[in-house]
Structure 1
Amino acid sequence: MIIIFIAFGCNDKAKTKSTEQVKTDTIAPFAVVTDSPKQMIDTVNNKIEEAVADKPAHDYWKTIDFEKYGVEVATNSTKAPLDWADYPEAKDFKTRIIEAYKRDEIDFAGHYILATFGCGASCIMGFMVDVRNGKIYDLPLGEENSCLFAEDRVVCKSTSRLFIAGICKQNIEDKNVYYKSYLWDEDQKEFKIIEAKEFLRD
């Protein structure tokens, strides 16, 4: 009985706790694009990690060819009202989505603002919102895309359709990393798995 209560308590925290997600945002103001990837820094044990604004990009960012899947960033500074009709379940996270949408500029694929937050010790979940029409989409995160030894999570650029849910290691001492990576299909409005060999530079 206690275990069931704790499980439901964690779910409630994910929906009601204020800001659990701190971001190191390297994207310049709306419609001004930079080549630096955006990195999300998740919470650990329900405590907020402080983002270091001038934290240098890891060397493996240089090996990721975001430009191969490049797009132009929207130049219209007007954000459409949020559209809850097509995705009513997203209202369970309404406060988080609204806060991110108001606060942030375009994060991903030329038209999308991300809302991400912790869902456990090594888990992040989230949504993205299209600034053109306010429609809300799932991000490929959650437990199936979490990894215990994560170097980085939610690495993306405003100018690319490439979305890396996690850069992971098999164990803490491992020198090699593997990628949980996706490509956004703008026509189909869905994420498709992409192999690292498709976007890593030689």
Structure 2
Amino acid sequence: MKNIIKYILIAITTLSFACNNTQKNSDEAVEVGSDDTAVMAKVDAPAVADTTTKISVGDQEEAHINYADSIDFEKYEVGPQKRVANAPIDWTSYPEAKDFKTRITEAYKDNEVNFGGYYVTSIFGCGASCIMGFMVDVRDGKIYDLPLGEENSCLFAEDRALYNWMSRLFIAGVCKENVDAKKVYYKAYLWHEDKKEFEKVDESAFLKK
């Protein structure tokens, strides 16, 4: 009987030692660093998200193209203009524009001159792949159409309504024939101040060499 009890005690002691040793080794595997800071070892940190916007083309990736950089707006610069207070909007100059009175009024009130030296634009959606808009002359409040709408929309548009305050050049759209097309074409217009109208202009006249 004494021998049996002796063997049992030896077995219990051996098992207890093995458990303690396993726990110690486990602790050493999961605790790294100093200052009592415990971190999990062998656990991969979450990957940092790549926030760079890229366009995938087959197996290649290329950066988004800023088409405005290739357009020579300065070629049609109007030069520095004397700042004048906004004249009241002349709704009689374009009675149909009253259908969009709220949009035009808000843009005219909130925006600075942003096209052709003297005009404030108001641009908004008119359906899928379509935008439309007007511009108001701050000198006399007269309203004019911008060359947008259905006739100047394109299903595969890379960019739309490119213009700036000091130029008479207005790019209605940068378009592609289909989603996979590499080449783009431009729907572009030039504002003639004396005629008070837009005329089409070919891309060869404004693309930088």
TM-score of the alignment, normalized to the shorter chain, above 0.5: yes
One-letter amino acid of the counterpart of residue 165, structure 2? S
Q: Is 1:94–2:101 an aligned residue pair?
A: yes
Alignment of 1:128-167 (within 5 A): 128-167=135-174
CA contact (8 A) 1:184 1:190 kept: yes
Indicate the residue corresponding to 1:125 in structure 2: 132
Match of 2:117, SS state, is coil
Indicate the residue corresponding to 2:194 in structure 1: 187
Distance change (3 Å), C-alpha of 1:118 and 1:108 = same
Gaps in structure 2 of 5+ consecutive residues = 1-62
Gaps in structure 1 of 5+ consecutive residues = 1-55
Residues of 1 paired with 2:65 and 2:84: CA distance? Answer: 31
Indicate the residue corresponding to 1:76 in structure 2: 83
CA contact (8 A) 2:80 2:117 kept: yes
One-letter amino acid of the counterpart of residue 144, structure 1? E
* Residue 200 (structure 1) aligned to one of 197, 201, 207: 207
Deviation at 1:73, TM superposition (A): 4.5
Deviation at 1:199, TM superposition (A): 0.6
Of Structure 1 and Structure 2, which has the larger fraction of its residues in helix? 2
CA contact (8 A) 1:73 1:158 kept: no
Deviation at 1:74, TM superposition (A): 3.2
Residues of 2 paired with 1:57 and 1:135: CA distance? Answer: 38
Give a deviation string over 1:5-36, Cα, whole Å, max 9, x none.
xxxxxxxxxxxxxxxxxxxxxxxxxxxxxxxx
**How many pairs were matched up?**
147
What is the root-mean-square deviation of aligned Cα atoms in Å?
1.6
Residues of 1 paired with 2:99 and 2:151: CA distance? Answer: 20
Deviation at 1:77, TM superposition (A): 4.7
Residues of 2 paired with 1:159 and 1:87: CA distance? Answer: 24
Match of 1:140, SS state, is coil
Indicate the residue corresponding to 2:74 in structure 1: 67
Structure 1 stretches (4+) deviating beyond 3 angstroms? 56-59
Q: Give the TM-score taking structure 2 as reference length.
A: 0.67
Indicate the residue corresponding to 2:29 in structure 1: none
Considering Cα pairs closer than 8 Å and 6+ residues apart, tell me whether 1 or 2 has the greater RCO: 1
Q: Give the TM-score taking structure 1 as reference length.
A: 0.70
CA contact (8 A) 2:132 2:146 kept: yes
